[in-house]
């Protein structure tokens, strides 16, 4: 493995920090496109004799992507298999494959990339809102970032609610509405 490791060291020296170049419209963030990633790394890897393969495979009966890095001179290789999330149609599955190909390559080559789309997926933000957003409706409201939602009654941030009022205010409202048969509150 000595030859491959030396070549990977050389590649890491030559490959600069990769720039985000494509907008993710759902999260309003930028990410590194797979074609841009390959465009940056393949010329460098080819020049020093490293081949990359990413065939689809299976791991324990689940679809997976195999990432293989081969030294073309010595035949030494590194490989990794990453299980894929299964999608319900071919187009979505293609997006899953592309996503995991990108991250598998970045991880195997230990590249630095300015990429926050995973962070945005976990903590999405609402453009232009530094403060919690009030939602005015009696219908359930599904919000991408529940921490950015406040109770209409008390104004406190709500952490996991699909309604316009928090649990405490909802309970108080219900208590006021509960009446016995004589019309007297319980």
**Dihedrals φ, ψ of 134, to 5°?**
-85, 135
Regarding whether 140 and 75 lie in a shared domain, the answer is: no
Per-residue pLDDT of 46-62, as tens digits, reads 999 999 999 999 999 99
Regarding whether 147 and 115 lie in a shared domain, the answer is: no
- Write b or e for each residue in 147-181: b if 16 or more Cβ atoms lie within 10 A of its Cβ, otherwise e: ebbbbbeeeeebeebebbbbeebeeeeeeeeeeee
35 in any annotated domain: yes
Regarding whether 48 and 118 lie in a shared domain, the answer is: yes
Arithmetic mean of pLDDT, 96-115: 86
Task: Give the count of domains, the chain.
Answer: 2
Regarding whether 79 and 44 lie in a shared domain, the answer is: yes
Regarding whether 59 and 145 lie in a shared domain, the answer is: no
Give pLDDT, residue 147. Answer: 47
CA distance 163 to 140: 5
Q: Are 51 and 69 in contact (CB under 8 A)?
A: yes
184 in any annotated domain: no
Regarding whether 163 and 113 lie in a shared domain, the answer is: no
Regarding whether 100 and 171 lie in a shared domain, the answer is: no
Per-residue pLDDT of 17-38, as tens digits, reads 887 778 777 777 777 788 989 9
Q: Confirm whether pTM is higher than 0.85.
A: no
Q: Domain range for residue 168?
A: 133-177
Give pLDDT, residue 33. Answer: 85
Per-residue pLDDT of 155-185, as tens digits, reads 776 655 556 666 676 666 655 544 444 444 4
Give pLDDT, residue 170. Answer: 65
**Beta-strand runs (E) in the chain:** 22-24, 29-31, 50-53, 56-59, 62-71, 77-83, 133-134, 149-150, 157-158
Residues in a beta bridge with 186 = none
Regarding whether 138 and 113 lie in a shared domain, the answer is: no
Regarding whether 137 and 118 lie in a shared domain, the answer is: no
Regarding whether 98 and 56 lie in a shared domain, the answer is: yes
Q: Taking Cα atoms as reference points, which of 25, 3, 40 lies closest to residue 114?
A: 40
């Amino acid at each position: 493995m000595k030859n491959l490791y030396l070549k990977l060291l050389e590649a890491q020296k030559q490959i600069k920090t990769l720039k985000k170049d494509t907008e993710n419209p759902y999260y309003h963030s930028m990410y590194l496109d797979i074609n841009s990633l390959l465009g940056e790394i393949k010329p460098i890897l080819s020049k020093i004799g490293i081949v990359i393969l990413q065939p689809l495979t299976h791991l324990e009966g689940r679809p997976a992507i195999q990432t293989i890095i081969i030294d073309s001179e010595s035949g030494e290789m590194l490989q990794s298999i990453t299980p894929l999330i299964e999608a319900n149609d071919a187009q979505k599955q293609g997006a899953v494959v592309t996503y995991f190909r990108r991250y598998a390559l970045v991880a195997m080559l230990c590249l630095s990339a300015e990429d926050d789309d995973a962070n945005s997926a976990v903590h999405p933000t609402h453009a232009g809102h530094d403060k919690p957003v009030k939602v005015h409706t009696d219908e359930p409201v599904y919000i991408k970032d529940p921490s950015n939602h406040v109770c209409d009654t008390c104004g406190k941030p709500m952490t996991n609610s699909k309604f316009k009022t928090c649990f405490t205010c909802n309970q108080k409202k219900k208590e006021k509405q509960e009446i016995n048969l004589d019309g007297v509150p319980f």
